[in-house]
Structure 1
């Protein structure tokens, strides 16, 4: 290879995003040998035709693929390389799930050492129902280290009902459950959302779950499994009751098939979506093209004609987790939270904050906090 087609290791490192030390390591391991090594100085030189392999090597290592698998993937045909990547990702996900389960068990053990005092019985709920409710409501959470309650679940229990609530400031989801057995206590607490997610599968396999409150945790007890403790957060939960009480009356109500609306959202190509409700039905439009006809859905619309826009990541979870085949959208105008709930069962309700087309997500007003 002529010298003018070779790059010294420093230049090759800058071009490929790999450090010089990494290139030396990959050369010694046989994954990416230099095209030429000066026999006197030991300087390493690489060819332009090695850039593609080096970039692929870097990206495979960035997703944590082990060296032996990287070598196989680099030398494989495209279809085989894609399969190897998929297998690696599946294993990473399985390992992460196992870590979450072990972490939940460890956290439960550590927390239980602080909660030896008898717990206050607050509710007995059917396990599958409770697991579904936790997963549905937790879709309205977000991980923000500085505001941990935005990733948490607010639990409020009375003898008549157990209410679960979560909010990320742009969405608020709440679901009310009827206890299988009435408890005499009234209690409220904010529970770590990640720890609840980690125990939902165990809860789902239990006929009944007995919830007890301790000073530091919510204890979940089942007949044939180890008790689970989910940490209580000391931070104050947003005043969602005040927000709900201050909502104006809906000006537009839309009854629409959940399946039809979900399909329209899934086929929508953009980050933002506009709903146009008229007496003729519901149109799902690209937010950036207000004159577009979009997807026309059969719907029953009462009240005022309305055009309202949402972030797709805000609206889709609210629609997908709703219960039953039909939805009611209670809309209050383009700058007020919209309510998404089941047409036949209103015990799961989600509020979604609209956005103005053209605004970035960070520019939205925090109406739900």
Structure 2
């Protein structure tokens, strides 16, 4: 007999997936301990679990997976073959439709790029306090993307509007926003994406208390601090409209003591999931449970559900959560939770304009 953890390791299905398929009646354990509720699987179920994992990766609907497994166990090869062929035709039709839609989207993007290129950046010159800009850069740089296939996210957006400078970075799974006040510019809104290495060079200049000067001219952006300068080309890509992404549903708020919460996240349990990094290695997930009274705890895969009161249950990438807590640069931070599928927002209690957001990870159980 295999435990659920052993079955997960041998089959390629996560523990949460095995629980889900047990509840769905697709792969039911051979025996469940009546006291602990722990699941055990028979030797013959390993082949079924591996088959299930392959069908799952191929995107087969649950109803069809159930029929394939039934046909497999009864040696009904004709039924299995027909179900596989039907699903393959469905995938091919979906791919053809997706190609048509993407072809249309590419054409729309090309027309939009031509329009935007003709409206490219005007000259901008402004002053900003060095400590403010340093704090803003520290609050957002961690969230920039390192994916070469997404060059538009490989930097920090400098969004200049009136006497306000917003810095934004995102890699799609997390986003960070910070604000700094400016003087000396009253023109139209301008946006440039500063490459991450140049943003780092700018941060290195911000060691004093004086005002520094930011300039955008043509395709170049420069920061001057005294007689020192960091300058270079900004990225020739349009940044996503982050203002649309920061609208999250109302929910509950929890104030956390950051050092204690960081330790709880670092040393607490991780849950199983299918999230992988760019190198293909699995990412550790932290499961957060939050009650309406503002209590947040780090839970594990096997922890019992709280009883007697409603709660929000959200899984996030553990490393991303630790990065966001460190970038918050406060002993106390506010965590905001909406629906389980909404981003988790991490704010400074004394600065609502500086925050980061983490996308939740869907658990299947």
What TM-score do you get using the length of structure 2 for normalisation?
A: 0.57
1:281 aligns with 295
- The 3 A distance-change label for structure 1 pair 280 and 325 is closer
Aligned with 1:333: secondary structure? Answer: coil
2:237 aligns with 235
**Cα distance between partner residues in 2 of 1:128 and 1:266:** 30
- The 3 A distance-change label for structure 1 pair 192 and 332 is same
- CA shift digits 1:97-136 (9 cap, x unpaired): xxxxxxxxxxxxxxxxxxxxxx834421122321231122
Q: Does 1:291 align with 2:294?
A: no
**Cα distance between partner residues in 1 of 2:311 and 2:160:** 39
Q: Does 1:165 align with 2:168?
A: yes
1:52 aligns with none
1:135 aligns with 138
Cα deviation, residue 358, structure 1: 6.6
8 Å CA contact 1:330, 1:339 repeated in 2: yes
**Cα distance between partner residues in 2 of 1:223 and 1:134:** 19
1:343 aligns with 349
2:324 to 307, 318, 323: 318
Aligned with 2:159: secondary structure? Answer: strand
How do 1:209-224 and structure 2 match up within 5 A?
209-224=212-227
- Deviation beyond 4 Å, 4+ runs, structure 1: none
Q: Does 1:189 align with 2:192?
A: yes
How do 1:247-286 and structure 2 match up within 5 A?
247-248=248-249, 250-268=250-268, 270=270, 271-278=284-291, 279=293, 281-286=295-300
**Cα distance between partner residues in 1 of 2:305 and 2:310:** 20
- The 3 A distance-change label for structure 1 pair 210 and 304 is farther
Aligned with 2:253: secondary structure? Answer: strand
How do 1:46-65 and structure 2 match up within 5 A?
none
**Cα distance between partner residues in 2 of 1:289 and 1:151:** 38
1:177 aligns with 180
**Cα distance between partner residues in 2 of 1:272 and 1:150:** 23
- Give 5+ residue unaligned stretches, structure 2: 1-121, 271-283
Aligned with 1:235: secondary structure? Answer: coil
- CA shift digits 1:191-226 (9 cap, x unpaired): 11122113311223462210010111211112222x
Q: Does 1:355 align with 2:361?
A: yes
- Give 5+ residue unaligned stretches, structure 1: 1-118, 294-302, 360-369
**Cα distance between partner residues in 2 of 1:136 and 1:348:** 7
1:331 to 320, 329, 337: 337
Aligned with 2:137: secondary structure? Answer: helix
**Cα distance between partner residues in 2 of 1:132 and 1:188:** 20
**Cα distance between partner residues in 2 of 1:210 and 1:339:** 31
- CA shift digits 1:291-318 (9 cap, x unpaired): 399xxxxxxxxx9521111110221111
- The 3 A distance-change label for structure 1 pair 208 and 304 is farther
- The 3 A distance-change label for structure 1 pair 290 and 269 is closer
8 Å CA contact 2:254, 2:294 repeated in 1: no
**Cα distance between partner residues in 1 of 2:303 and 2:313:** 9
What TM-score do you get using the length of structure 1 for normalisation?
A: 0.57
8 Å CA contact 1:140, 1:173 repeated in 2: yes
- The 3 A distance-change label for structure 1 pair 267 and 214 is same
Cα deviation, residue 276, structure 1: 0.9
Rg: which structure is higher?
1
Aligned with 1:233: secondary structure? Answer: coil
1:111 aligns with none
**Cα distance between partner residues in 2 of 1:140 and 1:204:** 22
2:80 aligns with none
Q: Does 1:244 align with 2:258?
A: no
- CA shift digits 1:47-104 (9 cap, x unpaired): xxxxxxxxxxxxxxxxxxxxxxxxxxxxxxxxxxxxxxxxxxxxxxxxxxxxxxxxxx
2:87 aligns with none
2:201 aligns with 198
**Cα distance between partner residues in 2 of 1:358 and 1:311:** 16
8 Å CA contact 1:123, 1:157 repeated in 2: no
8 Å CA contact 2:333, 2:346 repeated in 1: yes
